[in-house]
Structure 1
């Protein structure tokens, strides 16, 4: 009660924060008249002066990076707002400025759909890009990364900033003026093209189409990836930023690194999707590991027989004497009878014998694949390949694979070619990647429900930014039916009713399977509609853009992060393209006059349709199932009611839906039976809706714990990763390893002494013979110890160290100091990378093994920390020994020797080919050769060039 009264009197924390930010917005607005009077040339000069001021004042630059409200903030925001008006014809609203200040402070700005988050980010980006340290804008897909970079590039380029974009497949772009000379000329002549164009002559919807035909608009020009990162601002996807970081830590030259500016400030678009939904799975760069993949076919055959046997015996399909499936935790294991069947099928005595662990692992993954993962929901099969469907966005994720053999098990299930299991070469979680940034911010339409996780994991506060216009959407209570058939029948009736009225309908589904089932039902009723799911991904923007037209029916699988607004009446830009297409033209080939004419016609149609749709009540959103996350439901709802438009939303549920079935569906069924609710009649109750919301909260809490646990394990590896990557970076930047290697020589001398001449033993028990033998085997150096001498341990240490140092100096003199320094760096990097790869493989196996120790009342995380530390110490130990071994044994070849060896190899290859053609079964005799590292130094290359 006291808390309620306090909120009434003082307002919520969010309201108080908004009130503070409104004072800063007032300061920005006070500058608008003066900034508006500046010519284009003066505005650009003012921006460049501001940039110079920030970069020459380290204190100011650091304050901006920390997110402080600096004195120049109102001026910078006023400048970028004026630039947005002149380049895009868009004047940011006051609430957009509030959102931009929140992003600058390193917070998450929650802004409803249609409130212009893309422009909000651009305002905060401009201020932070003035530092020259580099700003990253992270999006959910390539289309948005390139689109937004080009779109907002008009503002950045106008204000004298550089901008780049990165896409998958190593594509990267710089955003340039289409004709910079024409632009400069316009500036010199002080032509007020933007003011003329956007003070009434053109509608905002025209801006990109008509201005794209003028010389001042931006285009994406292909460029080196490093150049895209060297720009003041870089747009890209979360995966690409993460993978580039990992790749940067696998290169052998500093010149090959791309993220040269480091990690200072990032804004994450659809922050909940990237930092929460996708954070369950780490980013992994992998290479193929050697293993027998045929076991997955055998395991799949066994599991399918087992499932059939359970079905024939009329057993519960999820829990019976053969196996147990836990849908909540997505696990599946064999029961006692199932184990007996497996032992018979594979002709083994004990399935749990360590030598049969691969069979057991393949069976468990195959059981999961056949019971928990469903085609056209969790994955699709396309061109003989299993492609994962993102459960939160409904998008295909080509190139991504489930780990730990699950993907192989699904490939066996679907009868497609099984790709070999991959071995981890480098990995990082999204949590640990994004926590590297000095300042992190985000924006989304739905973040408040996950505020606790954002704060605990990323130290990010959420600010709910008010809408520019009050929300007019009506959110009706859920309707709950007994069966899925009753639910879908009523969904179709409602769609048919709304379609006849002419009201646009957006139907949200949780799976591809459901969307295609609904599509079939609508086809039977002859209701025209569009389907948007992972199978129709390429038409995404077009389908969404026209979903607000009169009578439009759109079925969409998960609406997160689509990046295109649903405009009531339709999008004139897309409609203009359709009009041109009917005339046999494309926007690129059409003349400006033809395009203007098509656009004018499209605007007339969409304007009339918008009025009609508003009269009918706006966009109607129908949800066919509650998602396990409230955010996804809110994202679907948020598609209606943008910028004060009318709209409505309602969810249709059944007791057979996964969420209800797993969390309390039986109780609801009992209530409906008791009340004798007839078939086809729903129940509508706020109490039931509350129960569903509580079930969602439980699932969200469960998923949070999964992500938190993943992070706790990765934090252990992260400390080790930082040590390894820091050493790599130092080496690439030219670290002189001589002093480091001297320390390693000293450590090795102590190690040898401790091993063969332990302090607690008398000299008689020292194994000096074995010491000499091991030393020679390791480095090929004779120790020549005097066995008759009375050795002191310190004296023995010094003797070994002296031998190592003398040989080190001989090698340095023999090869040359400059070449030897470079050789040290090269060999250390090679050894470090190989050991790190091996270490990651061991950590993967360790994680599997410690998970079982929970049954022995031992905390798996504590066990993992302890044993991974021991493995890491062992890796560092091997790093010293292996590096010194290669360094002492390596032989450099002259160019003549290399040519001679190449000739010999060529001759040998020709002989082998000749032998193979006469007798293909003749085994080849391998000739043992002395290991030689072919290594050409930069010094040698320079000499050859001269």
Structure 2
């Protein structure tokens, strides 16, 4: 008898046969637009350069008049087709046109490796640029940003559009002409950091990035999924106690540790029979009760604290976190896996791309702890002055779209977080790659032996081989194995990423073996037979006859490599994400080429160990399998799928959780940035009214006066009134006559005191402002308002970031009191925000008074000095005249 779930599955399959999948239905919608594009292509294909530019200008004018992108979409796509064919020798295929339509609708187009995503990008980019807004094209590294912008430049310029690319070596002023272009290529970090820099710039003249309108993101899963957990931070140096950091790392040697699957509360930590619990999945560590006792004893022995219980006093509690950070650095972060030691510095390796992230430092003392561990100079920690998450940075764009070879596995997250559908675009040619069943082994040693044997066997056929590893450490290990076997190969990892383009260019040549971290070289196709264009450029070949011969030779070699089976891809282990495996696999079999892929797994790989590999190994040993055997069992296949699903689920949950917290912070961030921008632009707008600005300032002063009275004269308790302190504050800080005690004596109530005091403060304020403006003979007060407010906002926002970070760091403890940590964080953040706004109003008012008086007094001193000089000059002049008369 068929179960209900099997009946449901059968019903779903039957419905899909009749109606097609959702993906099929979406593709059908876009397919209907292809005949219209083809019709316009026939209309435009005979155009010369002048006519193409004229048509482009016509479409721009039409959009400006009607404001409808859809109305000009098919004609713009056809125009791009013609421009691509004329200027690049590349005409967009139908599937590329479909990809462009998907992207223009703000979705993710999943297109296999080699399907020409760089060319596809031009379609929505040109269409969106025709609206008059700037378009950002986001790539995974500076090299690809520069390469893609230059390759596509002839197409863009043919249609009257300017293009440029960013890189991390450019200064602020060098970025200005780049952001003046219609289309800008760059990495996600360049765009995001320019956004942050814009919002800490002291003046509008120093802001270079315009609006965030439309972003087209290449390798969108890498940027919006894999990179999403990394916050983007602009920081300044803060103080660091290098001796304390070194001590913590020394003390970490004394702590016993035990790996724990995960932790959700204090009870689980208490049950761990060690000084500290390690949670590898989240790279975190927590002291147990035993650990707290040991830590306190060690601090007593080293003279850091002098009595039992001192550790729990407010000025010392931070040391627990410092100790846990040292334990994390010692046990959970590995050299050549998580970081490199290069030129006496710790350099972070991006776990997704395998590339070094130059200039980036871990926060919260982790970087210093690793510096102490590796014995290099301990540098100051970073103090955050501006930050955002990638999710919230890209969600501020009016529209975003993305391209990738592997997005469907994360379709739910794209929809949930970014409101983007993932649409799988069919290949222009069918995929011919053979994907072999995983080879599974009990231990790594046997796995590596099998990899070497298979590589040697395939290498003898002449086929190029790409070996993908999951870390720099493993790429070095594999390299050593190959070197001992006498194999010649290239290595591409974080240690030599600057050679990425040249190594990838050679990776498809006959007999080539390339050892690479899984994601390195992403965005660059491996061409069978080698990269002809790269060879021509490297050898500076310009002679027409020689060019013809070189191209013929490469074409012949490409056909030969295809005839012997194409590129063979080796995965030395399964990655934590199926997407990364699919990306590695996708390096072979591009554009219908032949190819093959083979993954190797051992039960002591990191993925398997973290998700039940030990129990699986015990079960296999009980079944009679030994260390030298290749394993084959449905249970193993399921274990791998289950481990990857668990890991992906954990990653997705962590990203979702981080986003919930950052969403709360982001509301405050956007409010502060908008307020700051308003003040920066206060005197730059055509409709600027100085009197409105003064009224706004008076509103802030009023809020400060009310808050001041509430502070010293709380309405609910007149026993705690402090009238003398209030009068002293008014006289010392605001130079206002102390009148509150007199008002109270006359029987004034709190509200009456507020109103009376406000009028006196206003009068004093206006009196000093008039004096200031008379001295400067201009509206000097307006610039003073702007300068004081921007500085005040910055000062308090930097402090607010730290407060929110500290609140988030300790909020999980509220869970022990049966409270919802996220809800508690939200309430705490709101309270902090209210306090910050009150402090800004008070500080602004106080600073305004002192700044005005300071400016007036300074100006008076200057005028007096000038008067003295003029008087002296007049005396000298009179004296000279008298002497001249006497001489005559």
Q: TM-score, normalised by structure 1?
A: 0.84
Residue 154 of structure 1: aligned partner: 154
Residue 496 of structure 1: aligned partner: 456
Q: What pairs up with 1:768-807 in 2 under 5 angstroms?
A: 768-785=723-740, 786=742, 788-807=745-764
Cα 1:114–1:759 change in 2 (3 A) is same
Residue 26 of structure 2: aligned partner: 17
Separation (CA, whole Å) in 2 of partners of 1:516 and 1:765: 71
Separation (CA, whole Å) in 1 of partners of 2:424 and 2:627: 43
Give ranges in structure 2 of 5+ residues lacking alignment: 1-9, 260-270, 684-689, 866-888
Note if 1:703 corresponds to 2:660.
no
Cα 1:773–1:896 change in 2 (3 A) is closer
Separation (CA, whole Å) in 2 of partners of 1:490 and 1:101: 46
Cα 1:29–1:561 change in 2 (3 A) is farther
Separation (CA, whole Å) in 1 of partners of 2:138 and 2:257: 47
Residue 811 of structure 2: aligned partner: 850
Q: What pairs up with 1:71-470 in 2 under 5 angstroms?
A: 71-170=71-170, 224-260=174-210, 262-306=211-255, 321-347=274-300, 348=305, 349-350=308-309, 351-470=311-430
Separation (CA, whole Å) in 2 of partners of 1:760 and 1:689: 70
Note if 1:610 corresponds to 2:554.
no
Could you report, residue by residue, the CA deviation over 1:80-134 in whole angstroms, capped at 9, with x for unpaired residues? 1110111110111110000000000000000011101011011110111001111
Residue 749 of structure 1: aligned partner: 705
Could you report, residue by residue, the CA deviation over 1:543-563 in whole angstroms, capped at 9, with x for unpaired residues? 111111111111110226622
Residue 809 of structure 1: aligned partner: 766
Could you report, residue by residue, the CA deviation over 1:811-853 in whole angstroms, capped at 9, with x for unpaired residues? 1111116101111111111111111111111111111221222
Q: What pairs up with 1:21-40 in 2 under 5 angstroms?
A: 21-40=30-49
Cα 1:502–1:44 change in 2 (3 A) is same
8 Å contact 2:257–2:276 — kept in the other structure?
A: no
Separation (CA, whole Å) in 2 of partners of 1:638 and 1:812: 69
Could you report, residue by residue, the CA deviation over 1:489-523 in whole angstroms, capped at 9, with x for unpaired residues? 00000000011111111111001111111111111
Separation (CA, whole Å) in 2 of partners of 1:139 and 1:705: 26
8 Å contact 1:851–1:860 — kept in the other structure?
A: yes
Separation (CA, whole Å) in 2 of partners of 1:761 and 1:689: 71
Report the alpha carbon displacement of residue 30 of structure 1 after superposing the two structures with TM.
2.2
Q: TM-score, normalised by structure 2?
A: 0.89
Residue 868 of structure 1: aligned partner: 829
Residue 887 of structure 1: aligned partner: 848
Q: 1:472 aligns with which of 421, 432, 436?
A: 432
* Secondary structure at the counterpart of residue 673 of structure 1: helix
Separation (CA, whole Å) in 1 of partners of 2:319 and 2:231: 26
* Secondary structure at the counterpart of residue 531 of structure 1: strand
RMSD over equivalenced CA pairs, Å = 2.3
Could you report, residue by residue, the CA deviation over 1:288-317 in whole angstroms, capped at 9, with x for unpaired residues? 12242321111111213446999xxxxxxx
In terms of mean alpha carbon deviation, does 45-54 or 428-437 score higher? Answer: 45-54
Could you report, residue by residue, the CA deviation over 1:400-450 in whole angstroms, capped at 9, with x for unpaired residues? 111111111111100111111111101111111100011110111111100
8 Å contact 2:505–2:531 — kept in the other structure?
A: yes
Q: What pairs up with 1:757-772 in 2 under 5 angstroms?
A: 757-760=713-716, 767-772=722-727
Cα 1:506–1:784 change in 2 (3 A) is same
8 Å contact 2:350–2:356 — kept in the other structure?
A: yes
Cα 1:538–1:896 change in 2 (3 A) is farther
8 Å contact 1:655–1:661 — kept in the other structure?
A: yes
Separation (CA, whole Å) in 1 of partners of 2:534 and 2:723: 84
Report the alpha carbon displacement of residue 334 of structure 1 after superposing the two structures with TM.
3.3
* Secondary structure at the counterpart of residue 92 of structure 1: coil
Cα 1:245–1:899 change in 2 (3 A) is farther
Report the alpha carbon displacement of residue 336 of structure 1 after superposing the two structures with TM.
4.5
Note if 1:48 corresponds to 2:57.
yes
In terms of mean alpha carbon deviation, does 603-612 or 799-808 score higher? Answer: 603-612
8 Å contact 1:332–1:368 — kept in the other structure?
A: yes
Cα 1:541–1:900 change in 2 (3 A) is farther
Separation (CA, whole Å) in 2 of partners of 1:31 and 1:548: 39
Q: 1:819 aligns with which of 780, 783, 791?
A: 780
8 Å contact 1:757–1:793 — kept in the other structure?
A: yes
8 Å contact 2:114–2:590 — kept in the other structure?
A: yes
In terms of mean alpha carbon deviation, does 327-336 or 450-459 score higher? Answer: 327-336
Report the alpha carbon displacement of residue 741 of structure 1 after superposing the two structures with TM.
1.7
* Secondary structure at the counterpart of residue 515 of structure 2: strand
Query: How many residues in Structure 1 have an aligned counterpart in Structure 2?
Result: 821
* Secondary structure at the counterpart of residue 161 of structure 2: coil
Separation (CA, whole Å) in 2 of partners of 1:512 and 1:229: 36
Cα 1:309–1:240 change in 2 (3 A) is closer
8 Å contact 1:576–1:598 — kept in the other structure?
A: no
Report the alpha carbon displacement of residue 47 of structure 1 after superposing the two structures with TM.
1.2
Separation (CA, whole Å) in 1 of partners of 2:443 and 2:706: 75
Separation (CA, whole Å) in 2 of partners of 1:761 and 1:519: 77
Report the alpha carbon displacement of residue 789 of structure 1 after superposing the two structures with TM.
2.1
Report the alpha carbon displacement of residue 322 of structure 1 after superposing the two structures with TM.
3.3
Separation (CA, whole Å) in 2 of partners of 1:561 and 1:713: 34
Residue 6 of structure 2: aligned partner: none
In terms of mean alpha carbon deviation, does 38-47 or 471-480 score higher? Answer: 38-47
Give ranges in structure 1 of 5+ residues lacking alignment: 65-69, 173-222, 311-317, 581-586, 902-946
Report the alpha carbon displacement of residue 724 of structure 1 after superposing the two structures with TM.
0.9
